[in-house]
Amino acid sequence: VLFEPPTTFKAGYPHEYIVGEVSEKWMKSQRVWIVRTDTSLYALLGICTHLGCTPNWLEAESKFKCPCHGSGYTMDGVNFEGPTPRPLERGKIGLADDGQIVIDTAVRFRHELGQWEDPDAFLKFAG
Ligand code: FES
């Protein structure tokens, strides 16, 4: 029996995610959005970096918006409006032996510290 800490979960296969879309599939259970761009896939934590509320993904406006004090973030997770001083955080992401995506929300990567460049902060695809 494999022990997996509760912060780690399998999120299906990369091909299940559509390029250009923000998936809310894991938002309720894991508080994570999965974003697939043309060259990468990453896990954004649904925790506002102002005071910790849960933002909403507004597809029509292509942004995350926090209902508490109005902080807004781009699809990348970068803050551009409201009181929050910094971007959303990303969770650790990798592939399991069976090819499924594995995410660990306890290991976090912060853009303002240059950590989004870390190989564990995203999956890379040929563009
Ligand atoms: Fe999100 Fe304040 S907690 S804007």
Mean pLDDT of the chain: 95
pLDDT band at 114 (very low <50, low <70, confident <90, very high): very high
Q: Is the CB of 72 under 6 A from ligand 1?
A: no
Non-local (6+) Cβ contacts of 96 within 8 A are 10, 102
Q: Is the CB of 51 under 6 A from ligand 1?
A: yes
Task: Specify the amino acid at residue 89.
Answer: E
67-102 confidence digits (pLDDT tens): 999 999 999 999 999 999 999 999 999 999 999 999
pTM, to two decimals: 0.93
Identify the residue whose C-alpha is closest to ligand 1 atom 3. Answer: 51
Query: Could you tell me the distance, in angstroms and rounded to a whole number, from the CA of residue 120 to the centre of ligand 1?
Result: 27
